[in-house]
């Protein structure tokens, strides 16, 4: 039917054309028809081939109508029976779902969505379709087609070394930047106050006390190594997260309750459905990681020359979770270009309880999953209850049948964030003021500070595995540590864990980024920590700056003939957090204006920090649950003398709780 309609429209457009044009059109269409019909084995190819070159308008119009119908029939006839059955089954399944959604007992119309869909119910899109024909032979690849044209490569970009300045990144791409309840009249940008759900943007080094530092490598230095630890891009909520809980609240009121009626700014809820999936990388998340990969290639591309000289490939690492794996693929596509996979090796490390991985260390740290590791969550919940109560009172006047409380407010703020980074826009954002968003951000700050930074008793232990791996790479020595979450099986092989490369890229979660920052003792993040009572303007740790979607740390290892602060010659290392130079806090590393620490001094500082952290006691010890603010260094409360003695021995017994995976 569609084919016939298309022919008719094209015919009408040419009815008054020049006769020569009509002849040309007939010949063009005839040639195209012959190709299509030959492919599907049409039996009337000869009749079309022998048709006159200049039919009358009505004649060739009719022939193409017949051709369109015949082609459709031929395609149906050529479709395997089992494929038709799959399509019919899929259609029947869709009909059943629609019927099921429509059969729910009727509630007030204000609580029903379009076409009878229950308000608050989950909306699922499936792509690609499951029952498509395999036409691979008709769409040959580039290598088969050929004719690619000239492809000589040029020199590598290297702006971190050669440009006069390092570029900043603030783009939000396809997202419609949310506005608060003033519709942007106050100049406030909520997307910067969504905690760890905010998209990554460049931070100024002045935030961390280094106003004159730049991510650009000083002219007297030359890069030798680049280490990148990056978080996945924007994702859907985890299972049981606040957005899904809010959707369930509305759906339950609609199906099992008396329904609800929303007016004013909440009127959109009358037809709202839940369109967020669970934990997968969003479209925007894919773009974030691709952009980050391209950004890193432009900054550090020349570092790849060593792989050409040694005839080796970089090894990228990622946890096995889908969003982690997909983030790594997208970053690799941006960094290496497509097809990317022949240009690097990918080590996929299992993320599951009982499997060791420095990139998901909470899986082997029991205390991180109980109240000892949730100090921040408790304090954050108390703060949310306090700031959410007046907001709930403000919104309650616009809805009946649903009780709005502080928990509901938190769920709606989360929906503002998650819908924005997954769907590009959210009506929930319009409900809140700039102060509401600032408090929302602060709740995240409290949570992460107490769970994964210097106010947590387990954070340094969870970052210990990466500290040891980082030290091994800097020292060019295969790691042999057994007292952390690192995977001894993978780390023991120079193939899966090389220590002589010039580029390392590891994917992880934001909580691990925070744990690593604590283990590496970036104490600037512990200065003026988030208070439990209210937001502070001078806090150095702000979740949207330090742990946004796509956050990353770049460690630059450079050989300097005249280091800009000390004037010394040698090898130096510094850390770049979301494009801001952040000063070291390790023993022996002075605070320098460019953030560098001499390599030998840094390695000694890492060794001392390693000795301070007792993974076994922090993750398995039966110590008292600290209150928020009691912990200052990321370590558990003072150990007993017996535990302290055990810690000094640093026995390998800790490995008993850390199963190594192949």
Written as one string, the DSSP assignment of 558-613 is: EEESS-TTT---EEEEEEEETTEEE---STT----TT--EEHHHHHHHHHHHHHH-
> What's the whole-number average pLDDT of the chain?
81
pLDDT in tens, 329-352: 999 999 999 999 899 999 999 999
Q: What residue spans define the domains of the chain? A: 2-78, 189-236+286-364+457-618
- 3-state SS class at 383: helix
641 burial level (CB within 10 Å; 0-12, 13-18, 19+):
exposed
Q: pLDDT at residue 630 above 50?
A: yes
**What is the rounded distance in angstroms from the CA atom of residue 577 to the CA atom of residue 159?**
17
**What is the rounded distance in angstroms from the CA atom of residue 385 to the CA atom of residue 603?**
44
Written as one string, the DSSP assignment of 147-184 is: --------PPP-HHHHSSSPPP----TT------TTTT
**What is the rounded distance in angstroms from the CA atom of residue 192 to the CA atom of residue 203?**
12
Residue 552, strand partner residues: 230
Q: pLDDT at residue 460 above 80?
A: yes
Cβ pair 527, 540 in contact under 8 A: yes
H or E stretch at 93: helix 81-102
The pLDDT, as a whole number, for residue 141 is 82
Q: pLDDT at residue 323 above 80?
A: yes
- Confidence grade of residue 183 (pLDDT, cut at 50, 70, 90): low
**CATH, domain 189-236+286-364+457-618, list 3.40.140.10, 3.40.50.1240, 1.10.20.60, 3.10.310.70:** 3.40.50.1240
pLDDT in tens, 73-131: 344 344 443 443 444 444 433 333 333 333 333 344 444 544 456 787 787 777 777 76
Q: pLDDT at residue 262 above 80?
A: yes
Q: Which of 84-88, 322-326, 545-549 shows the lowest mean pLDDT across its residues? A: 84-88
């Amino acid at each position: 039917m569609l084919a016939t309609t298309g022919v008719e429209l094209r015919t009408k457009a040419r009815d008054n054309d020049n006769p020569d044009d009509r002849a040309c059109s007939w010949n063009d269409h005839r040639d195209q028809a012959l190709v299509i019909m030959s492919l599907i084995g049409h039996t009337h190819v000869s009749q079309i081939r022998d048709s006159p070159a200049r039919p009358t308008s009505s004649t060739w119009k009719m022939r193409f109508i017949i051709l369109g119908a015949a082609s459709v029939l031929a395609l149906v006839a050529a479709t395997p029976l089992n494929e038709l059955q799959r399509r019919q089954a899929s259609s029947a399944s869709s009909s059943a779902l629609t019927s099921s959604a429509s059969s729910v007992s009727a509630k007030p119309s204000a609580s029903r969505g379009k076409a009878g869909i229950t308000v608050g119910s989950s909306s699922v899109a499936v792509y690609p379709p499951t029952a498509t024909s395999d036409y691979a032979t008709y769409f040959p690849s580039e290598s088969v087609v050929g004719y690619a044209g000239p492809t000589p490569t040029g020199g590598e970009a290297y702006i971190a070394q050669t440009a006069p300045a390092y570029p900043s990144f603030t783009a939000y791409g396809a997202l419609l930047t949310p506005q608060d309840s003033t519709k942007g009249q106050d100049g406030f940008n909520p997307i910067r106050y969504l905690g760890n759900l905010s998209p990554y943007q460049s931070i100024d080094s002045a935030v961390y006390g280094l106003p004159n530092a730049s991510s650009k490598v000083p002219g007297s230095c030359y890069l030798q190594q680049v280490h990148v630890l990056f978080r996945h891009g924007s994702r859907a909520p985890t299972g049981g997260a606040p957005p899904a809980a809010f959707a369930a609240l509305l759906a339950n009121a609609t199906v099992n309750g008396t329904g609800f009626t929303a007016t004013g700014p909440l009127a959109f809820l009358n037809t709202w459905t839940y369109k967020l999936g669970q934990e997968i990388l969003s479209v925007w998340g894919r773009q974030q990681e691709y952009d980050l990969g391209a950004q890193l290639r432009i900054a550090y591309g020349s570092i790849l020359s060593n792989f050409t000289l040694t005839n080796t490939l970089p090894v990228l690492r990622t946890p096995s979770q889908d969003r982690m794996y997909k983030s790594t693929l997208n970053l690799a596509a941006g960094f290496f270009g497509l097809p990317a996979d022949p240009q690097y090796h990918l080590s996929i490390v299992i993320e599951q309880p009982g499997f060791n991985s420095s990139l998901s260390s909470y899986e082997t740290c029991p205390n991180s999953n109980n109240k000892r590791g949730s100090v921040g969550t408790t304090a954050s919940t108390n703060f949310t209850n306090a700031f959410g109560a007046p907001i709930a009172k403000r919104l309650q006047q616009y809805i009946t049948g649903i009780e709005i409380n502080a928990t509901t407010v938190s769920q709606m703020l989360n929906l503002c964030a998650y819908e924005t980074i997954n769907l590009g826009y959210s009506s929930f954002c319009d409900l809140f003021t700039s102060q509401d968003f600032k408090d929302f951000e602060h709740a995240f700050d409290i949570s992460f500070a107490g769970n994964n930074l210097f106010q947590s008793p387990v954070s340094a232990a969870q970052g210990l595995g990466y500290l040891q791996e980082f030290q091994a790479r800097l020292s060019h020595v295969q790691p042999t540590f057994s007292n952390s979450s690192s995977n001894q099986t993978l780390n023991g092989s120079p193939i899966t864990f090389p220590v002589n490369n010039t580029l390392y890229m590891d994917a992880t979660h934001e909580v691990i980024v925070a744990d690593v920052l604590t283990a590496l003792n970036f104490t600037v993040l512990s200065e003026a920590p988030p208070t439990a009572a209210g937001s502070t303007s001078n806090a150095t740790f702000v979740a949207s700056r330090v742990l946004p979607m796509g956050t990353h740390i770049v460690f630059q290892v450079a050989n300097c003939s005249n280091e800009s602060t000390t004037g010394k010659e040698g090898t130096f290392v510094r850390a770049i957090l979301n494009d801001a130079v952040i000063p070291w806090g390790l023993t022996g590393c002075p605070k320098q204006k460019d953030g560098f620490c001499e390599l030998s001094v840094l390695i000694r500082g890492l060794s001392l920090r390693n000795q301070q952290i007792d993974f076994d006691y922090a993750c398995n010890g039966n110590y008292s649950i600290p209150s928020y603010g009691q912990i200052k260094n990321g370590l558990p409360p003072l150990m007993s003398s017996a535990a302290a003695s055990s810690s000094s021995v640093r026995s390998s017994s800790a490995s008993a709780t850390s199963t190594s995976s192949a």
